[in-house]
Amino acid sequence: MDTLSFRWSAKYGHFLRAEANVNALSYPTPPRTAVLGMLAAILGLEKDALATDLAGIRVAVSGAVPARFWHRVKLRKDPPTPLPWEVKRSQRGAENPAPEKAALINQEWLLKPNFLVHVAWPEQPARLAELAERIENRRWHFSPCMGLSELLCDVEFVARQVASPLPTGRHIVQGLCMADDVRLLTADNLGIHLLRLPHSVSANRVFRHVPYYLEHRGQPFPVETAAAWRVGEWTGLFS
């Protein structure tokens, strides 16, 4: 299986949790849907492409959980004043006659997130080649971000490689692993978290969440599985 590997990093990141309320908590690592959204920006696809054009992309994410901090932002809900149909030289800017007061909300941001991402697109090899060419030459339609559009990021091409399936058995894996695809084995001095992340989204914007295992320092951990792959020196699972 042909794969594309790239490094996804930024100064700040934020991936809003589905259960977040007035305090906007963030997932500690990018969900599969966030990766697809970033790839859609690079390819210039619409937001709904996650449920259609990009649904067949297989994603693997690895990296340490970043440090987190709270950031207060102003959120305005009133729309901007509409532009007039006719623009005149003497025309002055107009203000919203009844502006809504901006609300202050707390957002949990990730500090210096840095992830290694492998993607495969078995059904669309030509589109995978286009994606690889755009990332390698930094030629994207829309500026990629780390969750929020205000948090610009860097997407660095790493390699085009072939992923090889591994036989069923015990493997030392890295990154996110879907809990239903592995049996976790005991290991000393490891901090393995179980968390639910968005995996896919329907055309009606209904998200499907699945449980994942993640070692919080990005360390390899042992599992028993029939779904492991090897890409270069990396061993893990796609989702």
Residue 91 placed within a domain = no
3-state SS of 43-86? Answer: HCCCHHHHHCCCCCCEEEEECCCCEEEEEEEEECCCCCCCCCCC
Q: How far apart are CA 41 and CA 153, in angstroms?
A: 12
Question: For the chain, how many structural domains are there in total?
Answer: 1
HSE at residue 191, side-chain half, CA atoms within 13 A, is 5
Q: pLDDT tens, 152-161?
A: 999 999 999 9
Evaluate if pTM is beyond 0.75. Answer: yes
87 lies in a domain?
no
pLDDT tens digits for 119-178? 999 999 999 999 999 999 999 999 999 999 889 999 999 999 999 999 999 999 999 999
Contact 36, 46 (CB under 8 A): no
The CATH number assigned to the domain holding 29 equals 3.30.70.2660
C-alpha angle 69-74-75 in degrees, rounded to nearest 5: 110
Residue 86 domain-assigned?
no
Residue 198 in domain: yes
Give residue 172's pLDDT.
96
84: pLDDT strictly greater than 90 = no
What confidence category does residue 188 fall into, taking pLDDT thresholds of 50, 70 and 90? confident
Beta bridge partners of 75: 103
* DSSP state for residue 123 in the 8-state scheme: T
Classify the phi-psi angles of 193: left when phi > 0, otherwise alpha if psi is within -120 to 50, otherwise beta. beta
**Domain range for residue 183?**
2-72+105-236
The answer to whether position 83 is within a domain reads no
